[in-house]
A and B are shown apart, each in its own frame.
Chain A
């Protein structure tokens, strides 16, 4: 594309682009075009003697992309170049209307997502591809409707309610889809609702940890300890202590009785952890919280008589306010469907009822977390947390008891962790110390950091991206097949050839490897890329908690990250 001359002249306000800028612009248009064209023209299905096969035409996508680039280059030469336009007697625009676009932005907001979509479509993961496309479409719709407002300013009024409606509708749509015969290919509605509930647990944990890390600026690497305390509180109370104290009749209701207790116990643990670490800051605080998380896990493993150690505990599953979802002897009803049939409308047993109910319970719990933390942020305590993150000494000079402020942050964060923990136990029906390893703490922290410190909506996106990508990896087959299916046959073939050049030992260690094993590498790489381009996370604006005349969001550069 060296032919692209500089456009714009000395005429008026015309913007002069250097050849390198034009070359960059052309490259970008090529990079946008080709991935978009790949799923549209490059993959073609064919009915061959009754068998559906497909073949790839990547050359076509490449050709069309090259055409776009050449066409755009010609526009630069003849139309957007005032001098050439004058020579050709065309009305040239006053200014070259090429917005200054950052390459990183293009890659992050278009190229990467579309590549991912293409891979997903190639693997027939239509749901995930569809979800990503919906997100992109939503983003672009907001950009078109509000061209002069920044996306982050629109989160409060539009994105959050949109997500709320999406969350409420998800199981209904999935379920109705099935009822009308629109089954989700490759990924059943059951799995979808289950996965959504699973992601919601992490969203809730992220929101809880956000109080400690995002608002109060205290780095907590042992958050999973509170999650464990919540889970074991539910497990032990519902299986051992409540039946002993109140009789066996309470077991079906155990979750509803235990939930507040589990939250309180976890909050208490938060305070217990808080006291010794109050004087610590930054790295030291992180190390002690990390150790605390490990201590809890090791106690759970080793205190056999109390926790039954690594064997874990079988926990009663969540019931519909006392009615179980278990299929009865003749297989037509569960207690729940019988209850509904008796009182409302006829309903036969279906496995999905329990999944939908679990989904709505965690949805409600997460909503409570969201609204409580949102409200707390506007109350004096929340403002004190944020002030603590900004400057602890100034806080003390203003008469704020920083000890209590830190303890409340720990306690409230821990309480939501406890709620999520007891839900987790009731969802799984079985818990063991294995579920509460350090990796979980790191994941939750990664979700909070990736979301943008202090931003609840950012956490929704980062939790979905991280936990969702794990699931996608789980879906893929073994490594060799995965690469082939990801890339299509041609590229896969090249890769296989490349692969064959490696030493045999290395090949052996890769072939047959489960791609699930690679998920941490992939997520790690994604986080590195993310942190390079958006060092303050997805959402980089801080919303003020109070305003006099006009609400202006504050750039993330101003906001302190907290030092414990």
Chain B
């Protein structure tokens, strides 16, 4: 079945495999990231999500597979063949990090100026021009500063612009990292757990920010997230990984009731439970995913935890029956 993300996608991940020695971190992973959509990459700890990010952004060279980025002007980039800095400079893929990597000894606004390095470098005539006072570096610098203040407004940090980045609170640092990534004009923004450590109000603001980026800045967003209120609330498309393999791929509503996802997320404590879960899955969702009717979208996004309930509810009955 043709899905909207298969139709002229921003990023095509095809048969991506990453091995570290004997360990297969990612095995034959294929999925697409649609233009102007928010795609979430979820999965239990150690599923290989960050490894996928590192492959996309050039920090790892994948063992096998192809990562094709299509700009809407028709330009194509094979990310697996590019150096990490070229992935950002030429293919315009920006990322944030799971453990925040800001330039903490530099001010907030300096962080955003560093992000515009390549534009400014060109404007400064690769330093020589600006050093000799030639060229239009001053104007370019003023524009860069404007852009920095625009993004500081967006992420609500304009009052902290001249403070060192290391002085910001955790949530503010996360927002600053997103602003810094956006200052590189990305076509694809990869966010590694942007909501980790945020309180509910902050993650609500984050959702709003990500929607703005998607709708107003025409950037595709690929995010790794454990906070299901964020994932279910804003994603258009969810890819689920477990042990480096894709176990589900669909809209939030589809993924939520996918038996494989439920199993991966519930975990299985002992053999008996596993059997029980399998039985429960058969009882709840007998049909394959594609045939599943999407759940009503108006419904408030549920965490996988509630999905646990029907399973558990049946368990005692089964147990009793077995006795």
Contacts and interface: CB of A to CB of B under 8 A. Distances in A.
B110 A398 contact: no
A343 interface: no
A560 interface: yes
A548 B166 CA distance: 18
Interface in B78-105: 84-89, 94-95, 97, 101-105
Interface stretch (A79-87, A109-117, A203-211, A387-395): A387-395
Nearest to A381: B127
A384 B114 contact: yes
Interface centre among A375, A380, A554 (most CB of B within 10 A): A380
B114 A387 contact: yes
A11 interface: no
A399 B131 contact: no
Contacts of A402: 85
Contacts of B109: 544, 546-548
Contact of B130 (A379, A399, A549, A554): A379
A175 interface: no
B85 A542 contact: no
B124 interface: yes
A394 B115 CA distance: 10
A157 B125 CA distance: 30
A375 B131 contact: yes
A397 interface: yes
B162 A550 contact: yes
A386 interface: yes
A402 B88 CA distance: 13
B161 A549 contact: yes
A383 B110 contact: yes
Contacts of B85: 395-396, 398-402
Contacts of A552: 107, 162-163
A144 B270 CA distance: 75
Interface string A383-423: 11011011101111111111000001000000000000000
A546 B105 contact: no
A545 interface: yes
Interface string B162-181: 11101100000000000011
B47 interface: no
B117 A394 contact: no
A555 interface: yes
B166 to A, nearest CB: 4
A372 interface: yes
Contacts of B86: 399
Contact of A390 (B95, B104, B162): B104
A398 B127 contact: no
B145 interface: yes
Contact of A544 (B107, B118, B145): B107
A397 B84 contact: yes
B149 interface: yes
Nearest to A389: B105
Interface of B is mostly: helix
A559 B120 CA distance: 24
Given A391-B102, A559-B105, A376 B117 contact: no
Contacts of A387: 103, 106, 114, 117
A398 B88 contact: yes
B107 A397 contact: no
Nearest to A387: B114
Interface string B150-170: 001000001001111011000
Given A386-B106, A396-B84, A558-B166, A379 B124 contact: yes
A384 B111 CA distance: 10
Contacts of B235: none
A44 interface: no
Nearest to A549: B162
A215 to B, nearest CB: 11
A385 to B, nearest CB: 10
Contacts of B101: 391, 393-394, 397
Contact of B114 (A372, A395, A559, A560): A395
Interface centre among A387, A393, A560 (most CB of B within 10 A): A387
A558 B117 contact: no
Interface residues of B, number: 48
A558 B124 contact: no
Interface centre among B94, B117, B141 (most CB of A within 10 A): B117
Nearest to B149: A548
B276 interface: no
A383 B117 contact: yes
Given A391-B102, A401-B85, A560-B104, A554 B131 contact: no
A178 interface: no
Interface centre among A397, A552, A555 (most CB of B within 10 A): A397
A381 B141 CA distance: 13
A558 B105 contact: yes
A15 to B, nearest CB: 29
B114 A546 contact: no
Given A383-B114, A397-B94, A554-B164, A376 B88 contact: no
Interface string A109-140: 00000000000000000000000000000000
B262 interface: no
A399 B105 contact: no
B6 to A, nearest CB: 28
Contacts of A544: 106-107, 109-110, 162
A372 B167 CA distance: 30
Interface in B100-144: 101-107, 109-110, 113-118, 120-121, 124, 127, 130-131, 137, 141
A554 B121 CA distance: 25
A551 interface: yes
A554 B180 contact: no
A548 B105 contact: no
A381 B121 contact: yes
Contacts of B94: 397-398
Contacts of B180: 398
A383 B110 CA distance: 8
B50 interface: no
Contacts of A380: 113, 116-117, 120-121, 124, 127
B164 A379 contact: no
Contacts of A397: 57, 59, 84, 88, 94-95, 97, 101, 181
A484 to B, nearest CB: 49
B93 to A, nearest CB: 9
Nearest to A560: B105
Contact of B145 (A375, A548, A555): A548
Given A380-B127, A548-B162, A549-B162, A398 B107 contact: no
B103 A390 contact: yes
B22 to A, nearest CB: 26
A395 B145 CA distance: 19
Interface centre among A375, A544, A547 (most CB of B within 10 A): A544
Contacts of A396: 59, 84-85, 88
A79 B156 CA distance: 53
A399 B105 CA distance: 20
Nearest to B186: A399
Nearest to B96: A397
B103 A376 contact: no
Nearest to B104: A558
9 contacts: A386-B103, A387-B103, A391-B102, A393-B59, A397-B95, A548-B148, A549-B162, A552-B107, A554-B164
- Which 9 pairs between the two chains have the least Cβ-Cβ distance? A559-B105, A399-B88, A399-B89, A390-B103, A380-B120, A394-B101, A548-B161, A387-B114, A558-B166
Given A381-B127, A393-B59, A552-B107, 6 more contacts: A379-B124, A397-B95, A399-B86, A408-B127, A544-B162, A554-B105
